[in-house]
């Protein structure tokens, strides 16, 4: 699985959009980009994933660059409850890609 | 539908003691995982089971053993606990490769 690089921490004002970047320059053609988050003391929670097209769901949007070497998770209107550690993971979809490796993630602080 | 459950929630052990952490999922998922998370760190994969009857090592398997008892249950055993194994342990499951992982609430283990 490709490695990812994320900033260790970010701040965001409540009500504003939070844009969390992730670099995955060694991503291969069959690997998806997944985002999870972990609110303090809880298990990680799935947010969104994508291959090459931009994706949106009720929680967030995922923007993947055309060369797929980086992506951005967007929380359109951050709330205090969005304060968490956000993990960007790149993982293959074919058989054998069962291992999911989590890095250190980005600690997002949403401030009032 | 309880999702992924873990027992116990908290445990204190003395160095050298043994214990088994239990994990069960009721989503009929094929693959299951054990991670550990040290304070301020990301998750590290200990062992995983791609399907019933199979187990494989992750990033940090030393000092642990696992059993995939049946499709629902995946246990993690510490034969001789060490202070370095003080951590929060998360179990997760997933149906098929490429699909979302679901995490349990975690077991907080302190080894004195």
Asked whether the beta carbons of A44 and A38 are under 8 A apart, the reply is yes
B80: pLDDT strictly greater than 90: yes
Pick the residue from chain A with its C-alpha nearest to B45. Answer: A101
Nearest-Cα residue of chain A relative to residue B60: A101
Q: How many CA atoms lie within 13 A of A105 on its CB side?
A: 23
Beta bridge partners of B48: B33, B56
Lowest mean pLDDT segment, chosen from A61-70, A87-96, B87-96, B103-112? A87-96
- Please count the residue pairs, one from chain A and one from chain B, whose beta carbons lie less than 8 angstroms apart: 59
Q: Check: CB of residue B91 under 8 Å from CB of residue B4.
A: yes
Question: Beta strands B56-57 and B65-68: pairing type?
Answer: unpaired
Residue found under tokens 């995490």: B103
* Mean of pLDDT over chain A: 89
Task: Please state, in angstroms and rounded to a whole number, the distance separating the CA atoms of residues A103 and A38.
Answer: 12
B-interface mutation test, from A88, A98, A100, most B Cβ less than 10 A away: A98
Residue A53 near chain B (CB below 8 Å): no
pLDDT in tens, A42-94: 899 989 999 998 999 999 999 999 999 999 999 999 999 999 999 998 876 54
Which is it for strands A55-56 and A45-50: parallel, antiparallel or unpaired? unpaired
Q: Which residue of B has its CA nearest to A88?
A: B42
């Amino acid at each position: 699985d490709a490695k990812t690089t994320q900033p260790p921490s970010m701040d965001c004002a409540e009500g504003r959009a939070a844009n969390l970047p992730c670099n995955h320059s060694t991503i291969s053609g069959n690997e998806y980009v997944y985002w999870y988050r972990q609110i303090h003391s809880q298990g990680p929670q799935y947010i969104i994933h994508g291959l090459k097209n931009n994706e949106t769901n009720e929680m967030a949007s995922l923007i993947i660059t055309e060369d797929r070497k980086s992506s951005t998770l967007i929380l359109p209107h951050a709330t205090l409850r969005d304060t968490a550690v956000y993990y960007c993971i790149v993982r293959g979809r074919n058989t054998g890609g069962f291992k999911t490796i989590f890095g250190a993630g980005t600690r997002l602080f949403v401030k009032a | 539908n309880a999702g992924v459950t873990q027992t116990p929630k908290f445990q204190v052990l003395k160095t050298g003691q043994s214990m088994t952490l239990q994990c069960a999922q009721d989503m009929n998922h094929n693959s299951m995982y054990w991670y550990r998370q040290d304070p301020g760190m990301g998750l590290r994969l200990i062992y995983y089971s791609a399907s019933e009857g199979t187990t494989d090592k992750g990033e940090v398997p030393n000092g642990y053993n696992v059993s995939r008892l049946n499709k629902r249950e995946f246990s993690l055993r510490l034969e001789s606990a060490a202070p370095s194994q003080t951590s929060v342990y998360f179990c997760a499951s997933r149906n098929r490769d490429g699909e979302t992982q679901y995490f349990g609430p975690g077991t907080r283990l302190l080894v004195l």
